[in-house]
Structure 1
Amino acid sequence: MQCAVISFTLSGGQLAERLIAGLREEGQVVQGWCLKKWSEAFPDFLPIETSLSAWCEARWKEGGGLIFIGACGIAVRTIAPFIRTKTEDPAVIAADEKGNFVISLLSGHLGGGNALARQAADVLGGQAVITTATDVQGKFAVDVWAKENGLILPSMAYAKEISAAVLAGETIGFSCPYPLEGVVPEELSGGTAARLQITVGVQKADQPVFLSRSLVIGLGCRKGKRKEEIAEAVEQALREVQLAKEAVRGAATIDLKKEEEGLIAYCREQGWPLTFYTAEELSAVKGDFTPSPFVKKITGVDNVCERAAVLASKGRILVKKQAANGVTLAIAEENRRIHFG
């Protein structure tokens, strides 16, 4: 996590130096900030040249975590104008100037505030103060688990409903097509008869699904294909097999398509990284692929879309080569696991 640490006094800056050094040792990317009058005492810190509110707004847009060294009141008043939703807000924690207590103030679960508070407390030798109900009661926290596994929540409302049920002692049903690591919590022992279900997968369904962003689309197209034509082919293929577009994490093709503006524009519009492979790299992929003498003559490899999808996902084909209106595609899914605890 990228973190900004801000202090307001000499002793606060000294504590911040300890904290930053410890967090960096654990792999965090951390920048210290201080009031301008303390910049000589802390030459590695950046001085605040603006108002505290403007500084906070800039850090808020950057994301990551904000760590205040000082009174909680300073932190609360500073961040108050920028608080939006659990899914958008960054982690915010506050530590007293002696490092006795490190308090998770905002976005404890999805933003990672609770984990950051615990990590900071370990560095400082203090006590993490966590107030979220599932943590206090030692219960399964569905939003934390989903984030740790890279799953997309069906909605915050559904996550809240599950958390409320767990806190009330209700058991939840759980189904997952992937291998599991760790021990499944007893809160998820409700089976198919349970009122609420946690279903993991990549499929569109009538019931809420915790989507795994593990699909990769292998693409090929005739020269000059517009992004609208590529979009139509992709969305039709996903629709036919009831796969959720939100579960796609990227696309791949052959390097001969590096100049295809429509293909590049479509992937950029979807927010998908587009990976290019050489014919040699694609030819080396092991598996049972749909061969095409014509494609091999043009590209040097017998199949582009299936091989590209498998190579980029490091997984297996879900949807074999499809061709429509000059666009070919295949869909693969990475070999993944779901872990607990």
Structure 2
Amino acid sequence: MKLELIAFTQRGNALAEQLAKTLSDHGHQAAYTRDGLKAEAWAERAFSRSEGLIFVGATGIAVRSIAPHLRHKSTDPAVIVVDEGGQFVIPILSGHLGGANDLAREIATLIGAVPVITTATDVNGVFAVDQWARRQGLMVCNPERILSVSSRLLAGETVGFFSAWPIAGELPHGLCPVSREDVQVVLDLHRPEEDALWLCPKGVRVGMGCRRGTPAAALRTLLEEVLTQEGIPEKAVCALCTIDLKKDEPGLQELTQELNVPLLTYSAQELAQVPGDFTPSPFVEQITGVDNVCERAALASGGTLLRKKTTRDGVTVALAMEELHLTWKEHL
């Protein structure tokens, strides 16, 4: 996670700087970034660019600093408070979706502190669907439905669950497998018809080809049309994939920035080795050295082809779904 830390006393500064180093050593991108700012100004800047804010100091300072910037539980970053003595670690915002609870536990382990977790599902040992979804890399597409699911579980009621993919391990207590039509939680690429909590994997690879100089707007137009026809949300896209001849194509680079996904490129030899039944094009083969770019690129890392090549005005789009490796183990 990209984390920013702030402190307000000499003792707090020392802990914040050491904690930033420790977290970075454990795979996070963490830094002490106060830069002489007041807490409110620092929080405003950190909210716009980081996944987590860590206040080393009083909880009241943190609450007042972040209050003007709160938007929604699905978008707000994780916020943690660590007392300057390093005794307690308190997640105060985005405990599940933002990962604050898990981060608090991690920090507590690293510094020998006590994590103070207050979310009802954690306190009562009840399955937290939003926390499990984040750990599995799933998107919660309608987070307003989280409360109703958690309330049913906290009340001892069962929740119907449907997944379009297998999930390893034993189903958590309180969930029961049901059909897609009689469900409270749906894990699928497609929006459920009923008023259910919708979990969606961010695992759709877009294979794309285009004429040189094609603007990003033209690429986006066809992509949006294909996604709409397939009933797949744009946020499910995890990468744009193409041949390495297009790695510097301005339109593709701009589109990846708009979608906030990587541009993955493959050589003609790599694409030619992708197994499958693809839509051949003698013209494409003459130009690139391989009979199909978009379908092969979409499947270059394996998975399942969701949509074969669609072509318009020199732009080609294909969709593939990555292999998912889901487990119930992460809910513990």
The Cα offsets for residues 102-157 of structure 1, whole Å up to 9 and x where unpaired, read as 21111111121111211121122221111111111111111111211222213121
| Match 1:96 to one of 83, 97, 102 | 83
Report what 1:5 is aligned to: 5
Which residue identity lines up with residue 10 of structure 1 in the other structure? Answer: Q
| Match 1:274 to one of 263, 270, 274 | 263
Q: Count residues in correspondence.
A: 327
The Cα offsets for residues 311-335 of structure 1, whole Å up to 9 and x where unpaired, read as 1x43232222233443332211111
Residues in 2 aligned to 1:61 and 1:226: alpha-carbon distance in whole angstroms = 28
Q: Secondary structure at the match of 2:148?
A: helix
Structure 1 residues 7, 239: closer, same or farther in 2, change over 3 A? closer
TM-score (norm 1): 0.85
Residues in 2 aligned to 1:222 and 1:2: alpha-carbon distance in whole angstroms = 37
In the TM superposition, 1:106-255 aligns within 5 A as: 106-189=93-176, 191-192=178-179, 196-207=183-194, 208=196, 209-255=198-244
Q: Secondary structure at the match of 2:62?
A: helix
Residue 327 (structure 2) pairs with residue 335 (structure 1): no
Report what 1:36 is aligned to: none
User: RMSD value over aligned CA atoms?
Assistant: 2.6
Residues in 2 aligned to 1:56 and 1:227: alpha-carbon distance in whole angstroms = 34
Residues in 2 aligned to 1:65 and 1:133: alpha-carbon distance in whole angstroms = 21
Structure 1 residues 50, 241: closer, same or farther in 2, change over 3 A? closer
Q: Secondary structure at the match of 1:59?
A: helix
Q: Secondary structure at the match of 1:186?
A: coil
Structure 1 residues 322, 76: closer, same or farther in 2, change over 3 A? closer
Q: Secondary structure at the match of 2:318?
A: strand
Identify the range of structure 1 (51-60 vs 295-304) with the bigger mean alpha-carbon deviation. Answer: 51-60
Report what 1:38 is aligned to: none
| Match 1:256 to one of 229, 233, 245 | 245
Which residue identity lines up with residue 6 of structure 2 in the other structure? Answer: I
Gaps spanning 5+ residues in structure 2: where? none
In the TM superposition, 1:52-91 aligns within 5 A as: 52-91=39-78
Deviation at 1:227, TM superposition (A): 4.4
Residue 284 (structure 2) pairs with residue 295 (structure 1): yes
Which residue identity lines up with residue 89 of structure 1 in the other structure? Answer: D
Q: Residue 310 of structure 2 contacts residue 317 of structure 2 at CA under 8 Å; is this kept in 1?
A: yes
Structure 1 residues 102, 308: closer, same or farther in 2, change over 3 A? same
Structure 1 residues 102, 309: closer, same or farther in 2, change over 3 A? same
Structure 1 residues 300, 15: closer, same or farther in 2, change over 3 A? closer
Gaps spanning 5+ residues in structure 1: where? 34-46
Residues in 2 aligned to 1:193 and 1:277: alpha-carbon distance in whole angstroms = 38
Structure 1 residues 7, 230: closer, same or farther in 2, change over 3 A? closer
Residue 23 (structure 2) pairs with residue 23 (structure 1): yes
Residues in 2 aligned to 1:330 and 1:126: alpha-carbon distance in whole angstroms = 50
Q: Secondary structure at the match of 1:13?
A: helix
Which residue identity lines up with residue 98 of structure 1 in the other structure? Answer: G
Structure 1 residues 260, 165: closer, same or farther in 2, change over 3 A? same
Deviation at 1:257, TM superposition (A): 3.4
Greater Cα radius of gyration, structure 1 or 2: 1
Identify the range of structure 1 (73-82 vs 260-269) with the bigger mean alpha-carbon deviation. Answer: 260-269
Structure 1 residues 18, 289: closer, same or farther in 2, change over 3 A? same
Residues in 1 aligned to 2:38 and 2:118: alpha-carbon distance in whole angstroms = 30
The Cα offsets for residues 52-78 of structure 1, whole Å up to 9 and x where unpaired, read as 322222222222322222222222222
Identify the range of structure 1 (120-129 vs 272-281) with the bigger mean alpha-carbon deviation. Answer: 272-281
